[in-house]
Each structure stands twice: as structure tokens, then as C-alpha cells.
Structure 1
Amino acid sequence: MDQRKTKKRIRVVAVIFIALLVVCGGAYAYVTSALKPLNTASKQEIEVEIPKGSSTSKIGEILEDKGIVKNGTIFSFYAKMKSKNLQAGTYLLNPSMNVEEIMGQMSSGNVHRPVVYKVTVKEGAQVVEIADTIAKELKWNKEDVIRQLNDKAFVQKLQQKYPVLLTNKIFDANIKYPLEGYLYPATYSFYKKDLTLEEIIISMLEKTNKLIVENEQKMKEKKWDVHQLLTLSSLIEEEATGYTDRQKIASVFYNRLAKGMPLQTDPTVLYALGKHKERVLYNDLKVNSPYNTYVIKGLPVGPISNSGVKSVQAALEPAQTDYYYFLAAPDGQVYYAKTLEEHNALKQKYITQKQS
């Protein structure tokens, strides 16, 4: 009789234990699920305002109402357990963020601020174009912007901040614009109204400086200094099209430099002339300028545009070819040749016949 009672008690205890495991397991699964992103596929950015003095519970409630977390109560308990000091402010959050990412942003005070100005520098843009973009966005006078960018005292102040990037080569008497080639192509967002030109330019120089630092070893291997690298990469940028293999173009320049041949690239003629033309005429090639690679040997005195990362990489890692000539056809295709005879034949086929 006692054995039967004992077995019955064991069965009851086992059932209760299993029930507790099921309940606890379900609760654990629910909590774990609530800590995961609400929607991993979401790309929606939601502005969430956390008022000053909000309790952790209130913050959890706001986040749930905004569709950022699955369960605001679990979020608040988790934040308390982690001893996170969540700060008030306006945040830009995404339902694809997990609880740790949300807490990280809110505890760091990384608040969202509306963009006041946005300046986009395109790859291949020249200083005058960048000045125009800045002037239009900030409602400034373009000539005033250009004047300040050419002001030696202004540039020397920037040089003090970036002495490795901005060498005295930019102050050569023949340089048109000292910062040409040094303003990194990207989109820049600014969050305050009382913005200065110095702050805008520093944002651009900072990115260029980072690129140069990352490639210091490759520059040493190629024996290029900063000014030479940015000058060569600007030539590659100006010759490049959507179809172009920049590394092949770089190889042509390398091969010509090694043989002491003039680079003979039309964009340097246009830069020397200070104008854009659909066709470079024979007389244009004679313009007397340290930028004109038809009348000088080696690199021009300085960059002719602000090149992108791909062109800088091509300047540091050219393809290994036997080409000394390349020809950009009207359809954007680029054709390469080893000899002048081959080059002239390509020109006859893809340029002269097309124009006749």
C-alpha cells in the first residue's frame, strides 16, 4: 500500500516538474523572441522621441508603440537588468535592430539630428564645380567661395591640420587651385545652420587624408608622394568612362612615364584652357601650360580634378600591359594599342569614319 502511494507521489511530482519545464521553457522562448529584431527585413527608419524624465518602463512603452520592439515591458526589464542609462532625445531607429543595438544607441546619446545642408561632390568634379555646389546649397556667392579656397592664409591653416596631406607642392606658382584633387568625392551632411566653409572643407580633407594613410605602404612601393598620386589618379579619373578599365589606363601612363614619353591626355589640355569642349582641336594641343601633357613630359604640375577611390587604387595598382596608347570611342568603349600605327588604325576605324 505504501509503495503504491509512493509511486503515485513520484508520478505527481514528475508531472508538475514537466509542466514547470514546459511553462518556463515557453516563457524563456517568449522572452528570447522579444529581444530579437521585430522585423529583420525592414529598412524603414522611424524617428522616436524620448522625452526628458522618461522612466525605463515609459521608454519601453514608447518603443513598442512606435513598432521598434516586440514587447516594451520585456525591453524595460532587460535594460534595467543590464543597468543601461537610456538618455532622452530624438533617435532614428529601425525595426531590424535588436535590443542590444537599440540600447547601445540610446545609452550613447547618439541622437538623430535633422540635416540642415547636404553637399555632394561627384567623382571627377573640379574645385570650381564644388564651389558652385557649396554656394548653391548654402546660398553663398560662388566667387566668394572660390576666393576663399584660393586664399593662401586659409589653405595654410588647413595645412597645419593636415601637414602630411597638404604639402608645399600645392602652393606652386603654376597651380590653379591649391586644393584641386584633395577634396574627396562623397555626400556630406551637415547639422547646423551657422556652418563655415572651413568646416565643409575639413570634412572633405578628412576623408582624403584617411585614404592616403590607408595607402602609405603602396605609395612607398611606387615611390609616389601624395601630390603625385592625386595628380596621376585625376588623369585616370578624367579619362575613365563607365566601360573603362582604370587599371589599363593607368598602365598606359606608367609605360609612357617609364619611356620618357609625354602622357598626351586631352583632359589636361582642357584644364589648361579652362573650358569644356566636345572636341580638342590641333591648335588646342599647343597651349603653353604646365598642365598640358602634350607640351610637357611627366605629370602635370598638379591634379586636374578630384578623383574617386577606384582611380586612386588604379594609380597604385596598374595593370601589367605593353600598351602605350588608348582611344576612347564615341560609344564609351576604350581601345588600347602597343604602337602608334595600331593606334592610328583604331582612330581611323572608330573616330574618323564615324565622323565622316
Structure 2
Amino acid sequence: MATDKKDIIRQKMLESQKEARVVRKIVLIVSIILVLSIFIIGGGGYLYIKSALEPIDQNSKVQKKVDIPIGSSVTGIGETLEHNGIIKNAKVFKYYVKLKNEGGFMAGEYELSPSMDIPEIVSRLKTGKVLAKAAVIMTIPEGKQLKEIAAIMAKATKQKEADVLNQLNDESFVKGLMAKYPNLLTNEVLNSQVRHPLEGYLYPATYSFYKKNPTVEEIVTVMLEKTQDILANYQEEREAKKLSIHQLLTMASLIEEEATEKVDRRTISSVFYNRIKKGMPLQTDPTVLYAQGKHKQKVYYKDLEVNSPYNTYKHKGLPPGPIANAGKISIEAALDPEKTDYYYFLATADGKIIFTKTLDEHNKEKAKHISNKK
């Protein structure tokens, strides 16, 4: 009996080993199939994308007139190019643009050919190599406030400055833009404390328009599209810092207004964040001037008493909204401040900014470099 039991056990062990060998073979075969599938699919995907980036016909002599309307999105541009037989796949165009962080495409009528690859087409759309000359060219510098931008727009379009500004502030007009750009323009811009809903949202750049009398809406649409394209490059950093777009543009505008060409904006940014973290008011002069609606060389103690939610001497944290537009350098500084233990800074007459850690140090530097201020 004992021998029979041993034989049975031995037999079962042999069967188990046999089954295990079979299972291992099956697993090995499945693994090989999976690996091969991944290579085949991956290789096929790579070849497909590579092909889609290449010209439709490298030897084509055809030149097609393609109109890129004002306010076109990347998706819309890709679909237009595919529809006109200039590119193979609109989605590949879109993903290429996003991957390469391209943007700033200019509206107009272009002469394009199926012999062009996507990088060449992107380059042409960015540089604005169009058939017709621009009827209106408008340059918006960095650090400009909405009233100043309205004046530039009015001059470029031969409209009254007051009419342009009124339209930019019109709630129904702004709500229409919010519907077009829900991720960019949120309810924060309609906060009752915000002076101008579009303040800080019209990106500083040179804009070309190919009709003689573009409307305010057409101009603003292009500018908002530019802002959206720029900010899309920083979405991960913004979300990691837990900033809304409105907060980011507000912080960037403070940095833009305080900075000079000689200063590192990231250091200014560090002072603002350090003060917020410690519960200190930002106490930045440009917000006082914005609250007063004035441009002045000096800010006096009496100015600090202005009763406004924008007065960062009276109110802690960020003001209700941006106080001007900001360029990329200031936006990047707002997202990536330098690591410092500075809480104060002041600008000297020659444009240099002195950073200090304590109020005592700040007052000493102030006595050296600034007179009759505050």
C-alpha cells in the first residue's frame, strides 16, 4: 500500500511538472506574441506618423491659395490644410504643433504646396509669409494696460478710443468671448471688483490683419487666441503650482510692472511669493497707481491711502485681477520663482533693483538711494 501511495504521488508530481512546462511554454509564446505585436503596432504607428509629417507629393509644382481666417484654432488650421490637400492628416498636424509647443500662427491668405512638409508649413504660418500685404499692423508692447491697448486699437482701426474701451468692457461682449474661450476666460474676469474684464488677457505681440477695417471683436479674438496658445505651453507648471489662469496672469502682471531690463524677474517673483506665504501684504507701488488710474514717477504716503481692492498696501494677497499685460519672461517667473529669503526690494534711479531680507535692511537701502518717496 505504501508503495502504491508513493507511485501515485510520484505520478502526480510528474503530471504537475508536465503541466508546469506546458504553462511555461504557453506564457512564453503569449509573451513573444505580445512583444511582437507591440513592435509591429509601434513600428506601424511610427511609420504612419512619419509619413503624415512628410509632403503629400514631394515633386508637386502645384501652388494653392489657402485662407487662414482670423481667430483660427490649431484644430481649425489643420482641418483647413487637410481639406485643401496641403497635409495628409489634420490630427497629426495638431499633435505636432502641441508637441513642439508651436503657436502664434498668423491669419491671412497663404500660397502653399503639397510639396511642403509639416515643419515647413508651420514655419510659414508663424512668420506670416502671405500673398497679400497686411492692411493693419498693430504692435502691443509688454506692460500695457487695457486703456493703452484700446488707444492703440483705436488708432489702428480709425475708431474712437472711448468706443473701443466701452466695447472691451461691455459685459455681453465679454460673455460672448467667454463662450469662445471657456478655459481661458472664466467667471473670475467678471468679479465685481475687477476694473476691466480683459485686463492682462490681450497678449503683447505684433498682429497683422489683412482687411482694411477689422472689427474690435476680430482683433480681440486673435489676441486671445495668442494668449491661449502661449499659456497652453505652461499648463502643467500652472496646475502644479495650483494657480488659475487669472491668478497666474495677475502675478505675472505685477512682476512685469515692477521689473526693469536689468533685473531677474524670478527674484522679484520670489519676494511676492515669500510675502504671501508669510501673510504679509505685497505692498507693490504699481497696484496703487493702477487703483488711482494714474501714471506717476513717484508714489507718496498719501497715495497709499487710496481706497481700492487693488491697493496691495491695504489688502493682502493678489489684487482682484491683472494690472497690465505680461510677456513670456514674466509669466515664466510667476511659475518658477527663484528660491530666496528676500522680503523687500526697491528700484534705484538707474534701474537697478536691490533685494533685502529685513525691513531694517530695506530702510537703510532706501535712505541711500531714494529721497522724498513715501
For normalisation by structure 2, the TM-score amounts to 0.67
Kindly provide the CA deviation profile for residues 235-275 of structure 1, in whole angstroms up to 9, marking residues without a partner as x: 00000101111000000001000000000000000000001
Aligned to 2:194: 175
Residue 163 (structure 1) aligns with = 182
Of the three residues 82, 103, 117, the one matched with 2:59 is 82
2:350 is matched with 331
Amino acid at match of 2:59: K
Q: Which residue in the other structure is 1:134 paired with?
A: 153
Relative distance call for 1:284 and 1:83 in structure 2 (3 A) is: closer
SS in 2 for 1:180: coil
Shift of residue 92, structure 1, vs aligned partner: 9.5
* Shift in alpha-carbon separation, 1:163–1:81, aligned structure 2, 3 A: closer
Structure 1 residues 189 and 255, CA, compared in 2 at 3 Å: closer, same or farther? same
Aligned to 1:207: 226
TM-score (norm 1): 0.70
What's the offset of the Cα at 1:277? 1.1
**Cα distance change on mapping 1:224 and 1:81 into 2, 3 Å:** closer
C-alpha change, 1:81 and 1:304, in structure 2 (3 Å) is closer
In 1, Cα distance between equivalents of 2:65 and 2:152: 36
Aligned pairs for 1:228-243 within 5 A: 228-243=247-262
Find the counterpart in structure 2 of residue 226 from structure 1.
245
Structure 2: gaps of 5 or more residues = 1-56, 67-108
Separation in 2, partners of 1:81, 1:255: 56
SS in 2 for 1:84: coil
The structure whose Rg is larger is: 1
- Is residue 2:276 matched to residue 1:257? yes
Distance 1:87 1:264, change over 3 A: closer
- Whichever residue aligns with residue 313 of structure 1, its letter is E
Distance 1:273 1:214, change over 3 A: same
1:103-143 CA distance string (max 9 Å, x none): x88xx9x7511110011111000000000001111110000
Is it true that 1:345 corresponds to 2:322 in the alignment? no
| Residue type of the alignment partner of 2:325 | N
Distance 1:209 1:87 in 2: 29
Equivalent residues of 2:157, 2:213 under 8 A apart:
no
The 1-side partners of 2:272 and 2:63 are apart by 56
- Whole-angstrom CA distance in 2 between matches of 1:267 and 1:100: 48
Corresponding residue to 1:116 among 103, 122, 135 = 135
Segments of 5+ residues of structure 1 without an aligned counterpart are 1-79, 94-98
SS in 2 for 1:320: coil
- Quote the offset at 1:278 in angstroms: 1.1
**Are the equivalent residues in 1 in contact too, given 2:310–2:319 (CA < 8 A)?**
yes
Once the two structures are overlaid, the 10-residue window that deviates more, 210-219 or 149-158, is 210-219
Report deviation, 1:174: 1.4
CA distance in 1, matches of 2:214, 2:176: 17
Counterpart among 190, 204, 207 of residue 188 in structure 1: 207
Describe the shift of the 1:194–1:136 C-alpha distance in structure 2 as closer, same or farther (beyond 3 A).
closer
- The answer on 1:148 being equivalent to 2:167 is yes
For the residue of structure 1 that corresponds to 2:371, the secondary structure is: helix
1:314-345 CA-partner distances (Å, limit 9, x unpaired): 00000000000001001000000000000001
Taking a change above 3 Å as real, the CA distance of residues 352 and 100 of structure 1, as seen in their structure-2 partners, is same
Q: Which amino acid aligns with 2:62?
A: N
Letter in 2 for 1:86: Q
Distance in 2 separating the partners of 1:87 and 1:225? 42
CA distance in 2: counterparts of 1:235 and 1:249, whole angstroms = 9
Q: Following TM superposition, by how much is the alpha carbon of 1:83 offset from its aligned partner in structure 2, in angstroms?
A: 3.8
Give the root-mean-square deviation of aligned CA atoms.
Answer: 2.4
Runs of 4+ in 1 over 6 A off after TM superposition: none
Counterpart of 2:321, as a letter, is G
Aligned 8 A contact 2:65 2:110 in 1: no
Distance 1:204 1:92 in 2: 20
